Structure 1
């Protein structure tokens, strides 16, 4: 590697080592598997504010390209499942190289050991598969699944050029890959609302599954599960992670407003729900099974709530700047806003537990979210 790349690698390693909890073995893997080998010549850099995303082009500006590759930023490599050219700079993000600090944090939680068999769900550029291959150190021990054939083809070229022996499969990662089972670790690089039981089924007892849990309600979370001999898995939410959703689990879209909704006042400020802390988000999502997100405008703050099973059932709570009163506009007959606020105040009555006090159990019948102990189930 030339000196500029070496310096970029060292900057990246220094950055990830500043992240709380990230262990040295991950930083060493990032030094051994340079990120630039897995980033396309033209890509979209996404800093903290997505509205400030910008295109990098290796041919036109190699210095900026290199500096961004070795920055802390996520780099989007596909828009609208390939229907939009990345140079357009705008569209739905459908594949990326995740922010290195997030990659490092999830790999630390996964804690793969030499000779482990690893299943990765979501190949993307191939960088994390290469990091995993380096960490386990055994030819063919890493199986990585990518749902998008074009993304998989590019990743295969990247892995071959870097002499990485991971086994790449094109398919739906929700099904796992039983031919390679049993696995010691499952590393998931896409958001899930429902944990596929296939991942538990294909793990050894004591296996570890690390996945971004994205229930569609406010904040998102890292989920770390350990598989048990009885075919179940139990774990907790140690921190934050937000990834693109698994394609088969993308959230429902809102049905259009046909004018039949009801408008009424609410005593609860929309910000109380929309800006609730992560523990409250987990509780509200589990108790209600609803999606929620916020909207910020110059003179308004909005909290949206949606029933994913019935897109015609939705509500929006609205605060107009300067007004003492707030309103709710509801489509459908399910009192979504009332359910969400009731769930929020249940969380308050529990003493406002943080994210780390919640956990999940996954069985063949489904998943259950609990508070403190697995027998204190609060929802799904």
Structure 2
């Protein structure tokens, strides 16, 4: 098999190697909606850090190879303020300015397939998609349930407009709107499925309210404490959603839930005897617990012979940075703001240890009109601040 069909089959083979067998309907959707119809001529491709630019006109073979790899492809920087073409050098390497955050993409095919399997859409299901992006997932959903059953909402008018063109060229016309996906689309409810393609910290109750009993909501829960988590919720007769975190998922954040970036002016410094790498290397279950207990975020990075762990307070932009250096008995913690972020993260970590170090799959979530609650094993064991 050659050409586009051959590339699609190789991509499907790569996906199955990563996430296991793909059900026949999802496989057929991938075959019917070629990815290249939804990728712009110039984009960025790579792993956790984008590594290269691709240009269909300058190197069509490299462009097609990237499109049919399992890599995510970034299609917008800084909400459109930084043109991608301006960041690509003649040799394909990148020169990204500091403010060039990734703000829209075509997600990695394995991740797309994985979340579609969790969603389990069937012909005739009414689906709300939050985050149209390039339109590829809306096209896949249209093939799975029927285009007239798909409602897709995109916050960025320019991104939404390009998605509409992509979908038209692919021959499908789902119902597209521009707006904040957190509000859903009540005019088209009730939905059997809600498919979220952006990271969230809080599950908007509107999605539960607009789902029929038995409806399924699949979303990337991304508190930004280590990796993200796919959450699969089922809506019950009483208008409450319950579910668990079956696996990893990480997406760009919903714009209305992005963290603040301007910390307070107050700075302080102290020390800790806890090796910062203990928090940085914590497994998924610990990260989920620490996020749920504290409401904080965390990331780490290496710098020469040091290792820095940054704990953040998303609503305020405040932070604590713990720095590991070789040969030290104590480690410096610098802090912006008065809240002891590092100590809260450490306390939450050892609380997780005291529970027997449960894995991600033992945690769940309940969403009510009052908000969301993470729990361990059953809803009767809520994970709360001490």
**In 1, are the aligned partners of 2:199 and 2:252 still within 8 Å (CA)?**
yes
Separation in structure 2 between the aligned mates of residue 192 and residue 68 of structure 1, nearest angstrom: 27
Q: 1:274 aligns with which of 266, 273, 280?
A: 280
Q: 1:166: which partner in 2?
A: 174
Separation in structure 1 between the aligned mates of residue 69 and residue 323 of structure 2, nearest angstrom: 38
**In 1, are the aligned partners of 2:19 and 2:110 still within 8 Å (CA)?**
no
Q: 2:366: which partner in 1?
A: 361
Could you tell me the TM-score, scaled by structure 2's length?
Answer: 0.93
> Alpha-carbon deviations, 1:290-314, whole Å to 9, x = none?
1221121111111111223333x42
**In 1, are the aligned partners of 2:128 and 2:191 still within 8 Å (CA)?**
yes
> Alpha-carbon deviations, 1:74-128, whole Å to 9, x = none?
1111111111111114321111100000000000000001100000000011000
**In 2, are the aligned partners of 1:9 and 1:70 still within 8 Å (CA)?**
yes
Task: Give, in angstroms, the shift of residue 139 of structure 1.
Answer: 3.9
Q: 1:28: which partner in 2?
A: 28
Q: 1:96: which partner in 2?
A: 105
Task: Give, in angstroms, the shift of residue 22 of structure 1.
Answer: 4.6
State which drifts further: 78-87 or 349-358.
78-87
State which drifts further: 8-17 or 97-106.
8-17
**In 2, are the aligned partners of 1:216 and 1:251 still within 8 Å (CA)?**
no
Question: Per the alignment, in what secondary structure is the counterpart of residue 333 of structure 2?
Answer: strand
**Aligned residue-pair number:** 373
**In 1, are the aligned partners of 2:297 and 2:311 still within 8 Å (CA)?**
yes
Q: 1:318 aligns with which of 314, 318, 323?
A: 323
**In 1, are the aligned partners of 2:193 and 2:215 still within 8 Å (CA)?**
yes
Task: Give, in angstroms, the shift of residue 33 of structure 1.
Answer: 1.0
Q: 1:375: which partner in 2?
A: 380
Is the alpha carbon distance of 1:62 and 1:51 closer, same or farther for their aligned partners in structure 2, counting shifts above 3 Å? closer
Separation in structure 2 between the aligned mates of residue 177 and residue 337 of structure 1, nearest angstrom: 40
Structure 1: which 5+ runs fail to align? none
Q: 1:352 aligns with which of 351, 357, 362?
A: 357
Could you tell me the TM-score, scaled by structure 1's length?
Answer: 0.95
Task: Give, in angstroms, the shift of residue 147 of structure 1.
Answer: 0.5
Question: Per the alignment, in what secondary structure is the counterpart of residue 249 of structure 2?
Answer: coil
> Alpha-carbon deviations, 1:33-69, whole Å to 9, x = none?
1111111111111x224152x1111111111111111
**Aligned residue runs from structure 1 range 101-250, under 5 A:** 101-136=110-145, 138-250=146-258
Separation in structure 2 between the aligned mates of residue 26 and residue 19 of structure 1, nearest angstrom: 15
Separation in structure 2 between the aligned mates of residue 61 and residue 368 of structure 1, nearest angstrom: 49
Is the alpha carbon distance of 1:364 and 1:288 closer, same or farther for their aligned partners in structure 2, counting shifts above 3 Å? same
Q: 2:313 aligns with which of 294, 300, 307?
A: 307
Question: Per the alignment, in what secondary structure is the counterpart of residue 169 of structure 1?
Answer: strand
Question: Per the alignment, in what secondary structure is the counterpart of residue 55 of structure 1?
Answer: strand
Q: 2:303 aligns with which of 297, 302, 309?
A: 297
Q: 2:91: which partner in 1?
A: none
Separation in structure 1 between the aligned mates of residue 60 and residue 319 of structure 2, nearest angstrom: 47
Task: Give, in angstroms, the shift of residue 165 of structure 1.
Answer: 2.3
Separation in structure 2 between the aligned mates of residue 41 and residue 244 of structure 1, nearest angstrom: 21
Structure 2: which 5+ runs fail to align? 89-95
> Alpha-carbon deviations, 1:196-244, whole Å to 9, x = none?
0000000000000000000121121101000011011000001111100
Is the alpha carbon distance of 1:207 and 1:22 closer, same or farther for their aligned partners in structure 2, counting shifts above 3 Å? farther
**In 2, are the aligned partners of 1:370 and 1:377 still within 8 Å (CA)?**
yes
Task: Give, in angstroms, the shift of residue 321 of structure 1.
Answer: 2.7
